[in-house]
């Protein structure tokens, strides 16, 4: 990042960085974050220690102690949901990353039409996730869906598979849709990392007679370590909190096979109006996200300052 | 193999990748153009045999354009609100040289990473106490919890690159801080403002969870929520659902084609959603 190579202030004893008006500039955004982000998070944690239903959301909320958490952690559903979340997250970020990396390597060298290909892929990020989920739900449709049609055309299946209603296939289906959704993000971050690598190093290596695979394994990947780790870490956080896509494709079903933590939190709160349980799930999610984001910040942010 | 042949092979491979990736978007548009008789044909037709706009007409006669207008209203005001709040804050964080500035920046970064499901319940409770549930304002504030942290981070980076000497010169010339901000800082940081606006628009336009949580009056639904309710209510009318999906996708596709460069920079700059 630029801008830090400033010379002395021409204002002498009263430089801009000590101007008190800057506090006025900062106030609105700081106030917004405190009132509408920090306070709600704390309020969410507070709610999770209370019995809160629709009628008690505003007003008297009986203290429940650890009741919600005990109920949550001892229910067999919670273990299953945690496993679903892990399966969904790992199942998504690994293929997303591999495909994104391969595409980034392919699209780095310009060729006629390369920017159109890149633009077409970024479109996947621009379109609302709820729309993406809806389209994939239609593609996965058992009788009229495109996927079963194509699979039959290529002779891969004899009779149509029921993707989303099938407990064994539902998770795979939402993962496929989410991989599609996540490719643009991986592609862009990795292309950003690749374009920062020095060309001369490659030229030297190719003179030394290394082949393409050797250059990838011994030069590109080691040099990209930081970018790769950051991409995977962000992928982990963003995938863990995916909600819209699953909500519209399966709603968490069939028989909770695609219920992840965000789905469970939302369902407790806004399907069953058990806000105490909903906020207990959400607070668990918060702790997890906070830990991950602190790791991310410590590891990858701020070295450029 | 000549250089030219090499490029041709790459272009061909690129075309295949493009087509494979774009299939879901293609399928959305094709399905939206099929009449009801054709959409339930087995096997499905890859190219519509009788393309028509009847499903769009069904969506529009159900009030779909009102929902799209609500989406424009929500996204537009989210962008406005975001810029007004975030731009001065980002500037302050770019100019302050205090120990806690870095800490503040990291707080904004963390705020940006918080899941929407986490915010939905406490905001719902706060808004019902404030009496603004079931208004578009509630949705705009909800969206701003994602877009303001993002905009602060992106704009701060941009403002760090604006020359301090230029600002101080304007200040000595008798500009007030506000005058200097509007006349020197914002014009120089214009590209950053466009990036923050485009990304905020995309996020607010795509919001589902906040609108679905805070709004229960169907005439106030944005298009995302109205389309979602179609999926539940008319699970059989897939051509209408796809027409609705296309109505949501088209404005953003146009926006993207117009401002592709800014979207790309924004996507890489702010580690955002996936």
The reply to whether residue A32 touches residue B148, judged by beta carbons under 8 angstroms, is yes
Q: CA B228 to CA B144: how far, in whole Å?
A: 22
Instruction: List the CATH number of the domain containing A247.
Output: 1.10.3720.10
Residue B56 C-alpha, separation from nearest chain A C-alpha, in angstroms: 16
More confident residue, A305 or B67: B67
Give residue A217's pLDDT.
85
Rg from Cα positions in chain B: 23
Residue B60 C-alpha, separation from nearest chain A C-alpha, in angstroms: 18
pTM of the full structure: 0.92
* Rounded percentage of chain A residues whose pLDDT exceeds 70: 92
Mean pLDDT of A45-54: 90
Nearest CA in chain B to A18: B96
A262 vs B contacts (CB less than 8 Å): 115, 117
Q: Is the pLDDT of residue B28 over 80?
A: yes
User: Given the structure tokens 């051509």, which residue do they identify?
Assistant: B239
A183 vs B contacts (CB less than 8 Å): 21
Q: Evaluate whether residue A37 is within a structural domain.
A: no
Q: Evaluate whether residue A186 is within a structural domain.
A: yes
Give residue B266's pLDDT.
73
Question: Which range of residues forms the domain containing residue A245?
Answer: 58-300
Q: What is the pLDDT of residues A67-81, one digit of tens each?
A: 999 999 999 999 999
HEC assignment per residue over chain A: CCCCCCCCCCCCCCCHHHCCHHHHHHHHHHHHHHHHHHHHHHHHHHHHCECCCCCCCCCCCCECCCHHHHHHHHCHHHHHHHHHHHHHHHHHHHHHHHHHHHHHHHHHCCCCCHHHHHHHHHHHHHCCHHHHHHHHHHHCCCCCCHHHHHHHHCCCCCCCCCCCCCCCCHHHHHHHHHHHHHHHHHHHHHHHHHHCCCHHHHHHHHHCCCCHHHHHHHHHHHHCHHHHHHHHHHHHHHHHCCCHHHHHHCCCCCCCCCCCHHHHHHHHHHCCCCHHHHHHHHHHHHHHHHHHHHHHHHHHCCCCC
Nearest of B228, B197, B233 to residue B215 by alpha carbon: B228
Q: Evaluate whether residue A153 is within a structural domain.
A: yes
Q: Evaluate whether residue A14 is within a structural domain.
A: no
A181 vs B contacts (CB less than 8 Å): 274
How far, CA to CA in Å, does B168 sit from each of A12, A154, B96, B101, B224? Answer: 10, 68, 14, 21, 47
Q: Evaluate whether residue A23 is within a structural domain.
A: no
Q: With bands split at pLDDT 50, 70 and 90, how would you rate the model's confidence at A3?
A: very low
Q: With bands split at pLDDT 50, 70 and 90, how would you rate the model's confidence at A2?
A: very low
The two structure tokens encoding residue A265: 């939190």
Asked if residue B92 lies in contact with residue A22, where contact means CB atoms within 8 angstroms, the answer is yes
What is the third-level CATH fold of B61-269?
A: MetI-like fold (1.10.3720)
- How many independent structural domains does chain A possess? 1
Give residue A9's pLDDT.
53
The reply to whether residue B89 touches residue A25, judged by beta carbons under 8 angstroms, is yes
Residue B163 C-alpha, separation from nearest chain A C-alpha, in angstroms: 7
Q: Evaluate whether residue A24 is within a structural domain.
A: no
Please report, for chain B, the start and end positions of each structural domain, with discontinuous segments joined by +.
Answer: 1-52, 61-269
Q: What number is the ipTM of this complex?
A: 0.93
Q: Is A144 on the interface with B (CB under 8 A)?
A: yes
Q: Evaluate whether residue A82 is within a structural domain.
A: yes
**Would the CA dihedral through A181, B47, B16, A116 be positive or negative?**
negative
Q: What is the pLDDT of residues A96-108, one digit of tens each?
A: 999 999 999 999 8
Q: CA A269 to CA A265: how far, in whole Å?
A: 6
């Amino acid at each position: 990042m630029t801008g830090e190579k400033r010379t002395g202030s021409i204002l002498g004893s009263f430089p801009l960085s000590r101007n008190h008006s800057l506090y006025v500039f900062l106030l609105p955004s700081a106030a917004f974050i405190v009132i509408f982000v920090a306070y709600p998070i704390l309020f969410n944690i507070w709610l999770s220690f209370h019995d809160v239903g629709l009628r008690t959301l505003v007003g008297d909320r009986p203290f429940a102690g650890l009741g919600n958490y005990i109920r949550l952690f001892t229910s067999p559903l919670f273990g299953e949901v945690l496993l679903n979340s892990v399966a969904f997250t790992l199942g998504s970020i690994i293929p997303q990353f591999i495909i994104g990396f391969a595409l980034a390597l392919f699209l780095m060298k310009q060729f006629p039409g390369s920017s159109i290909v890149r633009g077409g892929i970024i479109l996947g990020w621009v379109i609302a996730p709820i729309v993406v989920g809806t389209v994939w739900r239609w593609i996965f449709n058992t009788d009229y869906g495109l996927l079963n049609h194509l699979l039959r055309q290529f002779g891969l299946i004899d009779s149509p598979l029921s993707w989303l209603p099938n407990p064994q296939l539902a998770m795979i289906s939402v993962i496929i849709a989410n991989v599609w959704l996540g490719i643009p993000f991986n592609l862009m971050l990795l292309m950003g990392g690749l374009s920062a690598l020095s060309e001369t190093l490659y030229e030297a290596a190719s003179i030394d007679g290394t082949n393409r695979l050797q250059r990838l394994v011994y030069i590109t990947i080691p040099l990209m370590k930081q970018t790769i780790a950051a991409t995977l870490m962000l992928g982990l956080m963003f995938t863990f909190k995916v909600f819209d896509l699953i909500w519209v494709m399966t709603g968490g079903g069939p028989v909770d096979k695609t219920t992840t933590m965000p789905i469970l939190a939302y369902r407790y709160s806004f399907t069953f109006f058990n806000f105490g349980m909903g906020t207990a799930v959400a607070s668990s999610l918060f702790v997890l996200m906070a830990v991950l984001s602190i790791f991310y910040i410590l590891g990858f942010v701020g070295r450029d300052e | 193999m000549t250089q030219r042949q090499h490029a041709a092979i790459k272009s061909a491979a690129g075309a295949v990748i493009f087509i494979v990736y774009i299939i879901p978007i293609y399928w959305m548009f094709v399905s939206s153009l099929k009449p009801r008789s054709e959409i339930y044909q087995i096997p499905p037709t890859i190219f519509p045999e009788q393309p028509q706009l009847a499903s769009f007409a069904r969506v529009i006669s159900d009030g779909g354009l009102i929902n799209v207008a609500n989406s424009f209203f929500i996204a537009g005001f989210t962008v406005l609100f975001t810029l007004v709040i975030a731009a001065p804050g980002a500037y302050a964080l770019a100019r302050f040289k205090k120990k806690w500035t870095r800490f503040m920046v990291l707080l904004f970064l963390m705020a940006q990473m918080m899941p929407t499901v986490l915010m939905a319940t406490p905001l719902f409770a706060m808004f019902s106490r404030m009496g603004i549930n079931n208004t578009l304002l509630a949705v705009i504030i909800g969206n701003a919890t994602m877009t303001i942290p993002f905009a602060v981070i992106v704009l701060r980076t941009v403002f760090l690159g604006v020359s301090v000497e230029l600002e101080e010169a304007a200040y000595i010339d008798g500009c007030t801080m506000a005058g200097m901000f509007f006349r020197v800082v914002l014009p120089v940081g214009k590209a950053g403002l466009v990036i923050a606006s485009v990304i905020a628009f995309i996020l607010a336009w795509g919001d589902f969870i906040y609108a679905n949580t805070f709004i229960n009056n169907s005439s106030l639904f944005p298009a995302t929520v109205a389309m979602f309710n179609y999926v539940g209510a008319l699970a059989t009318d897939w051509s209408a659902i796809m027409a609705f999906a296309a109505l949501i996708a088209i404005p953003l596709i146009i926006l993207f084609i117009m401002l592709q460069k800014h979207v790309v920079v924004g996507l890489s700059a702010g580690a955002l959603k996936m």
